[in-house]
Amino acid sequence: MAVSTANANSREEGRAPLPLTSRHDTWWIRPVVTMIVLGAFVIYSTWRAFVYQDYEVDSYLSPFYAPIIPLNWTIFGYLISPAFYILIFPLSFRLTCYYYRLSYYRAFFWDPPACGVSEPRPKARMKYTGERRFPFILQNLHRFSFYAAAVFVVLLTYDAIASLWHADGFHLNVGTLVLAVNAVLIGLYTFSCHSWRHLIGGKVDCYSCNVMSTTRYGIWKQISYLNARHSWFAWLSLFSVALADMYVWFVSAGILTDFRFF
Ligand code: FES
């Protein structure tokens, strides 16, 4: 009651009231960690895209630069890094992801910051129009960005396999494992997507009516298993894609030696 009065006073005075909650746990840790990790990833990936060097070495290609795009467009005399053409697709997939929306709405907009915690600016909340107006209406493009993301899973898998063929022959190095783990995690993240689950199992009235619907039900159950772990794959694949790029960068710059297994 006392906090509500304080917030009412804050509103009258035009100040943003403090978050309102009766929770006594450390609810703020999750949005703060999310803000730090997502912010660091956006800064790192943007910087790596701008740098446009050390993205390829031996048989390895950084996932930020895959596939190779032979475009040499410039802006004011500066060559546009091909990573920007590529990043549009995986980035739009992540930005519109249902799980990431929950995370970054909480972390960056505090809208609200956690369950059982009110928003710090109720006035802004009153103008909330959901995802029916620009720019948030673009979130509805998620199902289309899924198709592009699925193509990237194929491309990254191809790159991981192709990395076995080095300049001096066929052999397995740490670099191939790094690219392969990244391709697997990106694949798990992509195919645990809610849109994919709906594509497979949605719009079916009867799962047991014919062979096709029974098969779809079987696949839908497998995808549902992955879907329940979607948040894990979202974070693990975010780390793996940054680490895979970092590995290629370090090997290319001579900071790291690519260990050969056989
Ligand atoms: Fe997260 Fe589709 S819901 S990728």
Handedness of CA 185, 187, 191, 193 (dihedral sign): positive
In sequence order, the 6+-apart residues with CB closer than 8 A to the CB of 207 are 213, 214, 216, 217
**Residue ranges of the chain with per-residue pLDDT less than 50:** 1-6, 10, 12-15
pLDDT tens-digit profile of 180-227?
999 999 999 999 999 999 999 998 889 999 999 999 999 999 999 999
Residue 194 Cα: closest atom of ligand 1? 3
- Reported residue count of the chain is 262
What is the pTM for the complete model shown?
0.89
Return the pLDDT at 77: 83
Return the pLDDT at 22: 85
User: Interior CA angle at 153 toward 136 and 139, to 5°?
Assistant: 5
**CB 193 less than 6 A from any atom of ligand 1:** yes
In sequence order, the 6+-apart residues with CB closer than 8 A to the CB of 175 are 58, 59, 60, 163, 247, 248, 251, 258
Q: Beta strands 60-61 and 56-57: pairing type?
A: antiparallel
Q: What are phi and psi of 133, to 5 degrees?
A: -130, 160
Find the 227 Cα to ligand 1 centroid distance in Å.
9
pLDDT tens-digit profile of 138-156?
999 999 999 999 999 999 9
Q: Are 63 and 244 in contact (CB under 8 A)?
A: yes
Tokens of 228: 């329940």
Mutate to test the pocket of ligand 1, among 140, 147, 153, 192 (most ligand atoms within 8 A of CB): 192
Return the pLDDT at 223: 97
Return the pLDDT at 193: 98
Return the pLDDT at 124: 54
* b/e map 14-35, b = 16+ CB within 10 Å: eeebebbbeeeeebeeebeebb
Q: Please provide the DSSP assignment of 51-81 as one string.
A: H--S-EETTEE-GGGPSP-----EETTEEPP
